[in-house]
Structure 1
Amino acid sequence: MTVGSYLDTFFGKPVHNYSYGDRVSRHDVVYRLCQEYEAEETQVQLLDEFLGQVTPATLQALVVGSWSEAYETGPQKLLDRLVERHQELPEFKALFVGDMTSEDCEISWIHQGDYEDLLQKFRTLEVLRLRGSENLELPAFEHHGLRELAIECGGLPTALVRNLQRSILPALRHLELWLGDDNYGFDGKLDDYAQLLEKIRPERLRYLGLRNAQISDELAIHIARQPWLSSLHTLDLSMGTIGDKGARALIDSPYIAGLKVLDLQHHYISDELVAALRKLPLQLRIDKAQEEDDGDRYVEVAE
């Protein structure tokens, strides 16, 4: 998944756009709420109109796409309205906020909101995917239903990582974090993520994605030494800056044989080690190597 296109499917169903004034015509899709730039309707009006055309008691999933002036304002009013109406949504299980492309708003410009109340009220929530980290508030929380959490951004603040370290998420099976670039908000170190992995019990994860990272080599070297690597289904280090050091650590890992899928797309690995990676007993997702720019490597998504 990149920010160059909109989501095709979510929570097992096709995604279908809904704009203010539209009519709901299908019930086998997940709707994406969309606003034009400087839209006349408010986020609350858009949400209320949509909920007035569906059966809230059976609504399971929702995607929030572009909202008016996303580079200046966040989706807080929409989130607050969802919280206000949470008793009408007893089956609500999946939410993606920020499904927009760079043409709508650059990922580093997307203003987000505060998800504390939403996570407290929606105990049935299983999937939460967020795009953008500007003004994102995700305090340490306890949630016994959440099995998939993803934060897509051009720069992940360490404060959010430390909040996740203190969170209690016994059902979590899919963790996906886009670390990003230090010019756009990333201020972490390997130790922050080593502590996160230690505290979230990674042996119960099926998918671990530490994507779009400037420290991909360091992450790969650390993960290659962990016995729980063998229990993962998918390790996703794509979109980052992994090179020969990280690749060699994975190749030599005594725990790599248990892994089913290794995603290293967008990488800086030599042809020799790519050939060695292809010999591993797993499904390798890899593409043509990126070229360094005067010794510098770049993540795929930053601004």
Structure 2
Amino acid sequence: MTIGHHLDVLYGLPAYTFPRPGNNPRPVEPDAPAWRITSDVYDAGEGWTAAFARFCAAVDTTRVKALIVGAWEEAYEDDSAAVIEALVAARDRFPALRAVFLGDMVGEECEISWINQTDVTPLLAAFPALEEFGVRGGSGLSFPALSHGALRRLVIETGGLPAEVVRGVGGSDLPALEHLDLWLGTPDYGGDSEAADLEPLLSGARLPNLRHLALRNSEMQDAVAAAVASAPVVARLEVLDLSMGVLTDEGAAALLGGQPLTHLKKLDLHHHYLTEALQERVRQTLEPGGVEVNLDRGDAEEDADDDGTVWRYVAVGE
């Protein structure tokens, strides 16, 4: 499956695409929407940095709270360095900015694993008041360990998340972080992390306020579930999300055999490969205590070769 829809909300604000040249923006207060600035990946008539400059000239940027970076030209070949440089250079013009999402592209524009990123942490360094940050695309993505005192929500969506990024996030000091969402992906698209790389995150030592943990879209979902089963951070979570991956009975049984999960408000396992018996065991263990459990199988379908080999897939790969 690929991503078929652009973001419609960021920082609780409805997304609004800044119009292309020649189209006047509808009357809108600068702080009302999450502004989506985009170009064309193929044959762009206006590059992203030019669109951003036009936006800065047309809108009172001192009131802008949220920015969505859409497509930049040739994102399948050129990374996001020029976009990040333009945003960092304009930091003094955005004193109210609290949320940025980098790479809001659908499959028709650029498949998630074709989006070329770079070191995205200069954005966090340039905007110390940023509360939400998201990025889509793992190719070339870098996230060296950092300290950021205001960030409450971090989302990294990939078809394959490099182990160095997992370790960078795990080594970061993020005392305000409440919501962490990592799409770990598959080795086919650069997802080379192992469950052991998650240990700094699962210890929770640098994430004292974490309440929502999503480790999803993973080919190694059974190993992730087993690691989570005894993770110290789980005791203070409200939401645990292990969805979109190749979760089988082995991983779910390990999860249920670990620490109690009845304190959770929600356990999300949608897009899974569990038998009916194991699904019922999950429900009987957690739902009577008031835990909302999502066991929607979705489009998680298995393929089998003539030799009996069974193939299972994450929700978002290419």
> Smaller-chain TM-score range?
over 0.9
Check whether the contact 1:13–1:30 (CA below 8 A) recurs between aligned residues. yes
Find the partner of 2:222 among 217, 226, 251.
217
User: Which residue matches 1:204?
Assistant: 209
The DSSP-based 3-state class of the residue aligned with 2:243 is coil
Q: Does 1:23 align with 2:24?
A: yes
TM-score (norm 1): 0.94
- Provide the secondary structure at the position in 2 that maps to 1:130: strand
1:287 alignment partner in structure 2: 296
Q: Tell me, yes or no, if the aligned pair for 1:203 and 1:229 is still in contact at 8 Å.
A: no
| Post-superposition offset of 1:55 | 1.2
- Gap regions ≥5 residues in structure 2: 304-308
Displacement of 1:204: 2.7
Deviation string 1:151-171 (CA, Å, 9 cap, x unpaired) is 101111111112222211111
TM-score (norm 2): 0.90
- Separation in 2, partners of 1:228, 1:143: 20
Q: Match of 1:210, SS?
A: strand
More moved, 248-257 vs 155-164: 248-257
Query: Could you tell me how far 1:125 is from its partner in structure 2?
Result: 0.6
Shift of 1:102: 0.8
2:149–2:174 Cα contact (<8 Å) kept: yes
User: What RMSD in Å do the two structures reach over aligned CA positions?
Assistant: 1.9
SS at match of 1:219: helix
Aligned partners of 1:231 and 1:283: how far apart in 2?
16
Question: Offset at 1:203?
Answer: 5.4
The residue that corresponds to 1:32 in the other structure is: 36
Cα gap change, 1:42/1:228 in structure 2, threshold over 3 Å: closer, same or farther? closer
* SS of aligned partner of 1:246: helix
Counterparts of 1:250-289 in structure 2, within 5 Å, are 250-279=255-284, 280=286, 281=289, 282-288=291-297
Query: Following the alignment from structure 1 to structure 2, what is the Cα–Cα distance between the partners of residues 194 and 116?
Result: 22
Q: Which residue is 1:14 aligned to? A: 14
Indicate the residue corresponding to 1:302 in structure 2.
Answer: 317
- 2: distance between equivalents of 1:53 and 1:7? 23
Q: Report the residue type matching 1:105 in the other structure.
A: C
Paired letter, 2:34: V
Matches within 5 A, 1:93-104: 93-104=98-109
Pairwise CA distance, 1:4 = 2.0
